[in-house]
Homo-oligomer: A and B are copies of this chain.
Amino acid sequence: MTDTPPGRDGLVDLLGVLAYAELTAFLRLAEDAARLAPTLTDRAALSDLAATEYAHFRLLRDRLTALGVDPEQAMAPFVAAFDDWHVQTTPSDWLEALVKAYVGTGIALDFYREAARHVDEADRALVDEVLADESTSEFAVERVRAALRENPKAGGRLALWARRLVGEALSQGQRVAAARPELAALLVGQDGEDLAEISRMFARLTEAHGKRMSALGLTPGP
C-alpha cells in the first residue's frame, strides 16, 4: 500500500463502514415498519426514515466509486458486526422499534460528526449532507413521549432496551476497531495511542446518548 496517500485505507474503511451501516439500517427499518407499525401513518413515518438512510447509503457508495474502490469490497469487513448487532437488537414491538430508530440513527450521526473532524474537505461535504437530515428521526421522539405519557411504566423497560442497544453497539464497535486499526486511528486522530483523545471521544458519545435518552423521556441509567 506504499502508493496510496496516508490515511486512505482508513478513509475507505470509514466510507465502507458507514455505507454498510446505512444500507442495513434502511433494510431493518423497512422491516420494522412492515412488521410493527400500528397504523399506516406510522408505517409511512418509519419508512420515511428508512428512505433517508438509503439516500445516505447512495452518497457513500458513489463516493467510494469515485475513489476507484468497489463498494462491496469496502463494506465486506463490516457485514458480520452489523448483521450481528441487528440480530441481537431485533425490536419486539413498535416502541422498541422507535427507540432503536432514534438511538441507532443518533449513534450513526455521532460517528459522522467524529469522522468529520478527521477527513478532508471533499468528504466533509458528504458528512455535512448526511448531518443535514438529522431531523428525520424526531417523529420517533414524539411518539415515544406520547406513549410514556399514557403509560409511564413502559419507561423502565425502554430504558433497559436503550442500554442494551448501546451495549451491543459498543461490543461490536470494539470488535471492528480491533480488526481495522486504520479505521480506529482515523476516528481518534493519526495518533492511535492518544488516550486522552479517545477518552474525550467517549465522553462526547456518552453525552450525546444521554441527551437522546432525555429527549425520549427516559433516564440514561446507571
Q: Give chain A's interface residues, CB within 8 Å of chain B.
A: 20, 23, 26-28, 30-31, 33-34, 39-41, 43-44, 47-48, 50-51, 54-55, 57-58, 61, 71-72, 75-76, 79
CA separation between A76 and B43, bound complex, in Å? Answer: 13
Interface residue from B31, B39, B76, B79 paired with A30 (Cβ < 8 Å): B31
- In the complex, what's the smallest C-beta–C-beta distance from A55 to chain B, in angstroms? 7
With CB as the reference atom, state the residue of chain B lying closest to A40. B72
Contact B23 A27 (CB under 8 A): no
Roughly how many angstroms separate A30 CA and B20 CA in the complex, as a whole number?
A: 15
Stoichiometry, copies per complex: 2
Decide: B44 and A57 in contact? CB cutoff 8 A.
Answer: yes
Main secondary structure of the interface of A (DSSP, over half): helix
Are A55 and B51 also in contact (CB < 8 A) when A30-B26, A43-B23, A72-B40 are? yes
- Given known A27-B34, A34-B27, contact A54–B43 (CB-CB < 8 A): no
Set of chain B residues within 8 Å of A58, measured between Cβ atoms: 48, 51
Min CB distance A171 to B, Å, is 23
Chain B residues, Cβ within 8 Å of A51 = 26, 51, 54-55, 58
Minimum C-beta distance from A110 to chain B (A)? 24
Q: Which residue of B lies closest to A20 (CB)?
A: B40
Q: Give the distance to chain B from A59, nearest Cβ to Cβ, in Å.
A: 12
Query: How far is A23 from B33 in the complex, measured between Cα atoms in Å?
Result: 10
Q: Which of B30, B39, B57, B75 is A27 in contact with, Cβ under 8 Å?
A: B30
Cβ–Cβ contact A79 & B40, under 8 A: yes
